[in-house]
Structure 1
Amino acid sequence: MKKSLQQMNIWLLSSIIIFISYILFLIYPIVTILKQALFVDGHLSLDNFLTFFSKEYYFETLFNSFKVSVVATVLSLVVGTLLAYCFAMFRFKGKKVLQILVIIASMSAPFVGAYSWILLLGRNGVITKWLSSALGFPKLDIYGFSGIVLVFTLQLFPLVFLYVSGALKSMDNSLLEAAESMGVKGIKRLTHIVLPLLVPTLLAAALLVFMRAFSDFGTPMLIGEGYRTFPVLVYSQFISEVGGNSAFASALAIIAISIALIIFLIQKYVAQKNSFSMSSLHSIEPKAIHGWQKFFIYLGVYGVIALSVLPQTYLIYTSFLKTSGMIFVPGYSLDSYRQAFDRMGTSILNTLRIPLMALVLVLIFATFISYLSVRKRNPFTSLIDSMSMIPYIVPGTVLGIAFITAFNTGIGGSGFLAIIGTSFVMIVSLSVRRLPYTIRSSVASLHQISPSIEEAAASLGSSRLNTFAKITIPMMMSGIISGAILSWITMISELSTSILLYNVNTKTMTVAIYTEVLRGNYGIAAALSTLLTGFTVLSLLLFMKVSKSDSISM
Structure 2
Amino acid sequence: MSRSLALLVFGIMAVFFGCFFVYPIWTTVKLAFETPDHQFTLEFIAEVFRNPLYREGLINSFTIAIWTTLGCLLISVPLAMMFVRYDFPGKSLLNSLVLTPMVLPPFVGAIGIKAILGQAGALNSALIQLGLMNAKHPTDWLGEGQMLGIVVMEVLHLYPILYLNISAVLANLDPAMEEAGASLGCPPWQRFWRITLPLIMPGIFAGGTIVFIWAFTELGVPLVFDYDRVTAVQIFRSLNDLSDNPFPYALVVVMLVFSTLIYTLSKVFFGRADAVGGGRATLARETVRLPLSLGLLCTSAFAFITFLAVVPHLGVVLLSFADDWYATVLPQVFTLDHYHQALGHELTLSSIANSLKYSVIAIAFALVLGIGVAYVNVRTRIWGRQLLDAMAMLPLAVPGVVMAFGYLAMTRPGQQFDWLILGEDPLVILIIAYAVRRLPYIVRSASAGFQQVNPVLEEAAQNLGATPERALWRITLPLVAPHLLAGGLLAFAFAMLEVSDSMVLAQQSAHFPITKAIYFLVMGLGNGPNLASALGVWAMIFLTITIVGAALLLGKKLGALFR
**TM-score, reference length from structure 1:** 0.88
- What is residue 152 of structure 1 aligned with on the other side? 154
**Equivalent residue pairs, number:** 544
2:319 corresponds to: 318
- Give structure 2 stretches of 5+ with no counterpart: none
3-state SS of 2:156 partner: helix
Counterpart pick for 1:404 among 404, 408, 416? 408
CA–CA separation in structure 2 for the residues paired with 1:247 and 1:377: 45
Segments of 5+ residues of structure 1 without an aligned counterpart are none
Q: 1:295 to 1:14 in 2, by over 3 A?
A: closer
Does the aligned pair in 2 maintain the 1:405–1:413 contact within 8 Å?
no
Write out per-residue CA displacement over residues 355-374 of structure 1, whole angstroms, 9 at most, x where no aligned residue. 12211112111111112233
State whether structure 2 residue 550 is matched by structure 1 residue 543: yes
Distance (whole Å) between structure 1 residues aligned to residue 90 and residue 284 of structure 2: 21
Check the 8 A contact 1:72/1:213 in 2, yes or no.
yes
Aligned CA-pair RMSD = 3.0
Q: What is aligned with 1:14?
A: 9
Once the two structures are TM-superposed, the CA of residue 153 in structure 1 deviates from its matched residue by: 0.9
TM-score by length of 2: 0.87
Is the aligned partner of 1:40 residue 2:41?
A: no
- Distance, in Å, in 1 between the alignment partners of 2:464 and 2:184 is 53
Residue 280 of structure 2 aligns to a residue in which SS? coil
Among 436, 443, 457, the residue aligned to 1:432: 436
Structure 2 CA distance, aligned partners of 1:478 and 1:455?
22
SS in 2 for 1:198: helix
Aligned partner (choices 516, 529, 536) of residue 521 of structure 2 = 516
Q: Which residue identity is paired with 2:532?
A: A
Alignment of 1:229-308 (within 5 A): 229-237=230-238, 239-242=239-242, 244-272=243-271, 275=275, 278-280=279-281, 283-290=284-291, 293-308=294-309
Residue 104 of structure 1 corresponds to which residue in structure 2? Answer: 100
Determine the structure 2 residue equivalent to 1:141.
141
1:250-270 superposed Cα distances (whole Å, 9 cap, x missing partner): 121122111111111111111
> Of 418, 421, 433, which residue of structure 2 is paired with 1:418?
421
The answer to whether the 8 Å contact 1:113/1:155 transfers is: no
Residue 331 (structure 1) aligns with: 333
Aligned position for 1:491: 495
Pick closer, same or farther for the CA change 1:56–1:179 going to 2, 3 Å: same
Query: 1:97–1:403: structure 2 CA closer, same or farther, 3 Å change rule?
Result: same
Find the partner of 2:540 among 533, 538, 543: 533
Taking the TM superposition and a 5 Å limit, the aligned residue runs for 1:131-210 are: 131-137=127-133, 138-143=138-143, 144-171=146-173, 187-210=189-212
Verify: 1:360 aligned to 2:364, yes or no: yes
CA distance in structure 2 between the partners assigned to 1:373 and 1:402 by the alignment: 28
CA 1:485/1:172 → structure 2, altered by over 3 Å: closer, same or farther?
A: farther
Q: String of CA shifts for 1:315-369, please: whole Å, max 9, x gaps.
A: 2233222259999963222111101111111222333332122111121111111
Question: Which whole-Å deviations, capped at 9, do the CAs of 1:21-58 have from their partners, x for residues lacking one?
Answer: 22222222222222222222222232211221222332
Tell me, yes or no, if the aligned pair for 2:373 and 2:389 is still in contact at 8 Å: yes
Q: What is the CA–CA distance in structure 1 between the aligned matches of 2:409 and 2:92, rounded to whole Å? A: 46
Q: Residue 333 of structure 2: SS of its match in structure 1? A: strand
SS at match of 2:511: coil
Question: Is the CA contact 1:110–1:152 (under 8 Å) kept in the aligned structure 2?
Answer: yes
Q: CA deviation at 1:10?
A: 2.6
Structure 1 distance, partners of 2:344, 2:280, is 54
SS of the residue 2:498 aligns to: coil
Q: Return the alpha-carbon distance in structure 2 between the equivalents of residues 483 and 170 of structure 1.
A: 23
CA–CA distance in structure 1, aligned partners of residues 174 and 9 of structure 2: 40
CA distance in 1, matches of 2:186, 2:536: 47
How many Å apart are 1:495 and its aligned residue? Answer: 0.8
Task: In structure 1, give the amino acid aligned to 2:488.
Answer: A
Residues 113-139 of structure 1: CA distance to partner in whole angstroms, max 9, x if unpaired?
A: 222211110122111222234233341
**How far apart are residue 387 of structure 1 and its match?**
2.6
The structure 1 residue matched to 2:45, chosen from 27, 42, 49, is 49
Aligned 8 A contact 1:160 1:205 in 2: yes
Q: Is the 8 A contact 1:69 1:213 kept in 2?
A: yes
What's the counterpart of residue 474 of structure 2?
A: 470
